[in-house]
Amino acid sequence: MTQELVQVATNDEKFAIDDVIGSGWLVTKKQWWPLLCILGVNGLVASLVPLASFVMGFGGAMSMDNIGLQLLMGFLSAVVAFTVEIGMMNVYLMALDGKKINADDCFRCIKFLPSYFVVALLSRMAIGLGYLCFIVPGVILQISFQFAGYFLVEKKLGPIAALKASWMICDGARWQLVLLAVVSYFIHVFGVLCFLIGAIPAFMVNSLANAATYRSLLAKTPALAHLMPPPPPPQLSEEAVLELLDYDSWPEHLKVSAQTPGTQTPGTQTPEAAAETPATPLEAPPASVETPVAPAAAPAAEQPPEKPESPQ
């Protein structure tokens, strides 16, 4: 099955809101059923820990005195939530690339879970302190660190390097990112107002638009050009392929070789012919080298002329 890439952000800006939202909507239409199944599986997995907490609380185990059990359940809930979060980042990137996605693709990034724990801890501590400093620094930090998980999943960077890379790609585009967050909020509200059913496609569109924004910002950040994949090799156009397949455009020596079995193009010969060809004689020595000259043969001794026979 051929892969179809989704093009994003083709203008001079680092990204365009209509481009990324359009990419999210296009991929949602194409991958609607797989994405819905993956979200359903993730919802069931994420609900296991709260369901277990409810059952234990109904039985009296989740009392205020049992702090250890409450901390354990909270830790398990965070592990499940972070696993689903980074797994969906991988799914969204695969969907943007036109790849086939499955539910198990969401759990292939579990190896990045420790690094994502560090990223979440550092970023949320910094964002919390930023909100305490008159809110504006917190908004800036939240906007700037939102793409760190993509660098963990796709580029396999460390936690600190991922946070730095996320900050770098947001340089010069933070006002656009704020506007994108506002537009995404209204898309979500509009989806909720559509009898709550529209909240699911609205969530898909916003999530895929966020992944497309990451791709566009990374492509427009020269300082991180080493993280970009190499360009694909040039492909022949349909006209060039037809010209190569056109027999009339072949050179004459190729036509002769194709028509006559066993013939070779000029300048080539078969191994059998090379074996039968006699060795090339050595070249004559240069004129500057004196070659011995064989002495001339002595003239034959002169014989006396024969006397004519006398008549009888």
At residue 2, the pLDDT reads 43
Q: Answer with the residue of higher pLDDT: 286 or 48.
A: 48
Break the chain into its structural domains and give their ranges. Answer: 17-221
Under the banding of pLDDT at 50, 70 and 90, the label for residue 5 is very low
Q: What is the pTM of this model?
A: 0.69
- Mean pLDDT, rounded, for 73-90: 89
Which residues 6+ apart lie within 8 Å of 163 measured at CB?
119, 122, 123, 145, 148
Question: What percent of the chain is predicted at pLDDT more than 70?
Answer: 67
The answer to whether residue 278 scores a pLDDT higher than 70 is no
**pLDDT tens for residues 114-153?**
999 999 999 999 999 999 988 899 999 999 999 999 999 9
**pLDDT tens for residues 193-225?**
887 788 999 999 999 999 999 999 999 998 888
Under the banding of pLDDT at 50, 70 and 90, the label for residue 49 is confident
At residue 271, the pLDDT reads 47
- Mean pLDDT, rounded, for 159-184: 94
At residue 312, the pLDDT reads 45
Under the banding of pLDDT at 50, 70 and 90, the label for residue 95 is very high
Residue (of 49, 55, 57) closest to 82 by Cα position: 49
Lowest mean pLDDT among 43-52, 65-74, 113-122, 174-183: 65-74
The answer to whether residue 231 scores a pLDDT higher than 70 is no
Mean pLDDT score of the chain: 78
| Vertex 189: Cα angle to 188 and 192 (nearest 5) | 90
At residue 104, the pLDDT reads 85
Q: Answer with the residue of higher pLDDT: 4 or 48.
A: 48
